[in-house]
Amino acid sequence: MNFLEVVILLWLPILVLFFGLLEALVIPLLGDNHRFIRRLSVNGFILFTTILIMMTFKQVKEAPIVYEFGKIFGMGIFFKIDLLNYILMVFAGIIFMVASIYSLEDIKQKDRERTFYFFFIISFVATIGTLMAGDLLSFFLFFEIMTFGTYALMVHYRGDKVLEAGNVYIYMGIIGGLCILSGIILLSAYTQSYEWTNLAVKFSSMGVIKYIIGGLFIVGFGIKAGMVPFHFWMPKMYREAPFSVNAISSGILTKVGAYGILRVATIIFSVGTAEASTSGKILWQTSQQIGVVIIWLGIITMVVGVFLALLEGNMKRMLAYHSVSQMGYIIMGIGVAAYLGYKGATGFSGSIYHMINHGFFKALLFMVAGVVYLNTKETDMYKLGGMWKVMPFTAIVALIAVLGITGMPGFNGFASKSILHHAIIEAYKYGHPSFKYAELIFKLVSAGTVCSFLKFFGFIFMGKCPEQYAKLKPKYSRMAVAMGILATFVVVIGIKPDFVLNTFIVPAVLSFTYDAVFVSEHLVGLNFWNMKDIMGMVYVYGLGVIIFIVGIKFHLFHKHLPKWLNAERLIYTPVTQFCEDFPNLCVQRYEKRMILGDVFIYVTLLTIILGLLIVSGF
């Protein structure tokens, strides 16, 4: 064991936090004359952190690394790297790294670049902290910093419209945070547990409160993950945010929400390894009930997301709705993991795998949209076309991303989507037959995704190029580097899907409470290139093309939802409206009266008191 390994084993979180804070201090001090150094230091820091984290793999594989810090928050906090958050932390490092390369051209406002990178670093450190946190309090600490840090990134362009969208983001973030906080408080008060551990045994003796705890956590994390019906902040905010921030947010931040649901559903509600093999069904019951709810929430999220995406003409909003839809896949996978309990390994691994894959291709898609927008200043894809001639490289990476998200064999989306598909099949094989319908919806949503990306790629890159764009000579070398990196990941994972699965995900699955025999049967030797899955994809593509043709023919894509069906109008607006109008009403109508009522109160009280004083004869 050499010196570096010792340092990492003992002080990794301190190193990350220390250098993060140092970086956050250095950035404001570097003036605009040192922009190059500033950007270099940001890139350097993120690369350095990612490499540090990657180096722990050997130890993490044997046992989770725990870093304890006593005395903070009274009971002390600790960080813990296990195989689950190891994967996501490395992934977060990659996404932030790529986004920071991309942002070199995306974020060009000279005076506010400093602010941007300041909060960029804060968000990065907070994301790593959230993932690494071992106890609930420090998790919540970093989670809140992440919300506020990314808020500053999201509203980078300022202006009234952006801030209005930002309000939706931040208030939803705060509501989510408060839900999580109440969940944490209830959990710690009723179980005396401040960390992510298996609590099924304790829960089995509790009444309704366990469902309240579960519900609060799911709502809180669901808001961050963009789960329906709390998804509306996503299209609204993404439309106004910089592209590189969209890439980060879709790539990793929403995944943190999903990660939270995953931790809650498959760890807190799960049975410990010791009891798992011996105990009967009773201990798994809570997990099963929570699982059903999560599966259907996931399915609804998938459907709503893809449906709204089909009706959308704005690139950013369409990709945002697709993020919602793809988060639905992940949430559904988590649901299956919780539902099947001891046999839920497929859902578990599928959702982690899809988190990573979705991060890669969705970040790439946002970056593609960014390149198109920065050169044409147009976000409505119906007004674009023929871009492959103008920017061939972008067209190629866009095609890769599109094939990835639609699940073409040979690209990464195929791998995780087939695992998730297996998971939902297992759900009705081992569980309730009603999940047969869930599987049908799953296929339909995949077809919808295909259709909507046919639309995306077709309208932007194919067809006739409008006059004013035909002579564009775009220059985007740094952006091309960023997109190239992501496209490489999409292709490499797609060609060798079993590598990631067997190296990272299967060990992670085995370190949790899952049936080892089941895992070795269904995951370890999984052959991705079997005829059944590939034929399934062919049907999905066929259906997608049919929907596309029908949609074009009958102009279905230009339809809009009735106004009353908007989730924002149903949920967010009434709350904020009430919170703003009611105080004003109170102030206007009652405050004056209350203040002027003092004479009345004064006289009555004085009379009573003086009367009593006389009566008591004092």
Segment near other proteins (CB under 8 A), from 72-80, 379-387, 444-452, 468-476?
Answer: 72-80
CB of 34 to other proteins, least distance (A): 16
Q: How far is the CB of 348 from other proteins (least distance, A)?
A: 29
125-133, 170-178, 482-490, 519-527 -> range binding other proteins (CB under 8 A): 170-178
Q: Which of 71, 377, 471, 555 binds other proteins (CB under 8 A)?
A: 71
Residues in CB range of 120: below 8 A, 6 or more apart: 42, 96, 100, 103, 153
Smaller CB separation from other proteins, 538 or 610: 610
The residue (of 177 and 404) whose beta carbon lies closer to other proteins is 177
Strand ranges (E), 273-425: none
* Residue 417: both structure tokens together: 């989507």
Check if the beta carbon of residue 302 is closer than 8 Å to that of residue 442. yes
Largest CA distance in the chain: 101
State which residue, 79 or 414, has the beta carbon closest to other proteins: 79
For 43, the token pair is 């890139």
Contact assessment for residue 423 and residue 513, using Cβ atoms and an 8 Å cutoff: no
C-beta of 240: minimal distance to other proteins in Å? 12
> Which CB, 71 or 563, lies closer to other proteins?
71
∠ CA 434-440-443, rounded to 5°: 145
Stretch that binds other proteins, among 186-194, 260-268, 379-387, 481-489 (CB under 8 A): 186-194
Member of 48, 57, 67, 148 binding other proteins (CB under 8 A): 148
Does 476 interact with other proteins (rule: CB under 8 A)?
Answer: no
| Residue 605 is a binding residue for other proteins (CB under 8 A) | yes
Among 158, 429, 432, 436, binds other proteins (CB under 8 A): 158
The one among 106, 144, 240, 568 contacting other proteins by CB under 8 A: 144
Would you say 206 or 425 has its CB closer to other proteins?
206
Q: Is 31 in the site for other proteins (CB under 8 A)?
A: no
Residue whose CB is less far from other proteins, 119 or 461: 119
What is the Cα–Cα distance from 408 to 506, expressed in whole angstroms? 23
Among 302, 368, 310, 371, residue whose Cα is nearest residue 556:
310
Q: Does 74 bind other proteins (CB under 8 A)?
A: yes
Distance set, CA 212 to CA 179, 216, 257 (Å) = 10, 6, 18
- HEC string of 543-559 equals HHHHHHHHHHHCCHHHC
Least CB distance to other proteins at residue 224 (A): 16
Q: Which is nearer to other proteins, 1 or 208 (CB)?
A: 208
Cβ of residue 210: shortest distance to other proteins, in angstroms? 13
Closest CA to 218 of 129, 338, 130, 63: 338
Count of residues that bind other proteins according to CB under 8 A: 54
ω before 28 within 30° of 0 (cis)?
no
163 binds other proteins (CB under 8 A): yes
Question: Residue 140, interface with other proteins (CB under 8 A)?
Answer: yes
Within 377-526, where are the H helices? 387-390, 392-406, 412-430, 435-461, 467-470, 477-495, 497-500, 506-511, 516-519
Asked if residues 407 and 540 have their Cβ atoms less than 8 Å apart, the reply is yes
Q: By C-beta, is 201 or 606 nearer to other proteins? A: 606
State the SS3 of 404-416.
Answer: HHHCCCCCHHHHH
Q: How many CB atoms lie within 10 A of CB 347?
A: 33
Task: Report the site for other proteins in 190-209 (rule: CB under 8 A).
Answer: 190, 209
Is the Cβ of residue 145 or residue 485 nearer to other proteins in the bound state?
A: 145
Does residue 226 contact residue 234 with C-beta atoms inside 8 Å? Answer: yes
Is residue 29 a contact residue for other proteins (CB under 8 A)? Answer: no
Q: Which of residues 207-226 bind other proteins (CB under 8 A)?
A: 209, 212
186, 472, 510, 552: which one binds other proteins (CB under 8 A): 186
Side-chain-facing half-sphere of 57: CA atoms under 13 Å: 12
Tell which positions 573-602 bind other proteins, by CB under 8 A: 579-580, 582-584, 586-588, 591, 594-595, 597-598, 601-602
What is the full DSSP assignment across 454-482?
Answer: HHHHHHHHSSPPPHHHHT-----HHHHHH
CB of 155 to other proteins, least distance (A): 6
Instruction: Give the interface with other proteins as residue ranges (CB under 8 A).
Output: 71-74, 111, 137, 140-141, 144-145, 148, 155, 158, 163, 166-167, 170-171, 174-175, 178-179, 181-182, 185-186, 188-190, 209, 212, 579-580, 582-584, 586-588, 591, 594-595, 597-598, 601-602, 605-606, 609-610, 612-613, 616, 618
